[in-house]
Amino acid sequence: MTAENSFGPAIPHPHQLEVDDFQRYDIIIDARSPREFAEDHIPGAVNLPVVVDSEYARVGLAHKDDPHQAYMVGVRLSLRNIADHIDNHLANCAENTRFLVYCFRGGKRSKLWADNLRTIGFKVDVLKGGWKNYRRWVRDGLDSLPPKINFKVLSGSTGTGKTRLLAALETTGEQVLDLEGLAGHRGSLIGSLPNVDQPAQKFFETLLLDKLRSFDPERAVWVEDESRKIGAIQIPDAMFDAIRRGDIYVVDAPMGERLRLWQEDYPHLVADPVKMVEMLRPVRSMVGAEEYDRWMDAAKRGAIEELFESVMRMHYDPCYTRSMRKERSMERMRRAVQLPDLTGAGLIQAARTLIDLEGEGLTSSNADKATPR
C-alpha cells in the first residue's frame, strides 16, 4: 500500500502497515494505558486499554522479580479487560467493521486485541511500530509540511480582533489555522481559559499535524502571529519559522471596540479584575511600580474599562511596537488593516476585504491602510 500524499508523509518502516489516512478505519483502538493515551494519541482513537495504569505498574514491578508470573498476571488482567471492552463498546459492531489497533511499539498489547478481534471475524490492522513509530511520523510531518504552506499572517496588538477575524475568514471559506484554539490558551500572561486544560505538548503536535494535513496545499492558510509559546505549549520550530516568512496583515481597531471585545472575551477577568492584575505581576518591573499600583487600584474600584485601557496602552501596545521594530529587518510584505467594527457583520466584511487584498497580491512597498467598506 502506498502511503504518501502531498501533505501526508508515510510512516517510514519497510514491510509493515503504512498509514496515511486513518479515516478509512471505523474504529481505532489505542490499547495503551489511560496515562499514555492522555499524553498523545491518534485523532479519533478510542482508549480501550489492555491494562489500566495501576495494573500496568503492577505487571511492570512483578516482571523484575518473576517474568513468568508477571505474564500470567498480565494476560489474566488483559483478557478480563478486553472482555469488558467488547461488552461495553464493541458488542454492536457490524461484521464488516474495520479496526486499526496500536500500542506503544505494536507488540503484545496490540497482539492481544488483534487476535481476539480476528477470532470474532473482524478485519484488523496492527500499526507496526505502534505509537512510538506514529510519534516519529508526527515529528517528521511537522518538519516537512509547514515550509510548503503559504501562510497569511494576522498581526496586531492584543485586543484588536485577530482571533475573531480568523473565525470570520473561516466562515467565508478560507483555510484557517487557529493555534490558540488547538493550544487551549489565548496567549500572554492572562490567556488561560477558565475550566480548560491545555493539551500535552505531544498531543498538541498531533492535532497540529492533523490540521495541516487537511489543507489544500494550493491555497493560502490564514494564521495569527504568535510568540514561540502559547501558555505552556511550544510551537514547533519549522512551524514558527514558516509563519515568520508569511505576508503580514497588521490589524488595528479603535480603543472603544477593543475594550468591548476584551469584556466579551474575558468575562472571568471582568468578574475578578484583581486576579488579572495579580497575573500581570511579572511585568511590574517593565511598566513600573507606580503604573502597576494604578492597575491594582482600578481593579479594586471595579473600574474595568479604565483598567483594561491602561493595561493595553501601557503594556500590550508597547510590547507589540517593540516586537515589530525587531522584525523590520525581515523581508516580509505588510499591509495595515483597520477594523472599525468588531461585530459579526463588520468582521465578515473585513474578511472579504482581506481576501480581496490577498488576491491582488502584496509588495514590500504596498503598505497602505485598507479599511473594510
- Show the 3-state SS of 181-241: HHHCECCCCCCECCCCCCCCHHHHHHHHHHHHHCCCCCCCEEEECCCCEECCEECCHHHHH
**Phi-psi category of residue 109: left, alpha or beta, with phi > 0 → left and psi -120 to 50 → alpha:** alpha
**Residue 232 is placed in which grid cell?**
505552556
Return the amino acid letter for 87: D
The beta strand positions in 69-144, using DSSP E, are: 98-102, 123-126
Neighbours of 1 (CB within 10 A): 8
Q: Which CA distances in Å does 264 have to 75, 137, 150, 311, 349?
A: 54, 40, 32, 16, 20
Strand 233-234 relative to strand 221-224, pairing: unpaired
C-alpha distance from residue 129 to each of 5, 93, 106, 158, 309 (Å): 21, 26, 5, 44, 54
Q: What does the alpha-carbon distance between residue 60 and residue 74 come to, in Å, rounded to a whole number?
A: 9
In angstroms, the CA 246 to CA 219 distance is 13
| Closest to 60 in 3D by CA, of 28, 37, 36 | 36
Query: What are the residue numbers of the active site?
Result: 103
CA distance 37 to 31: 9
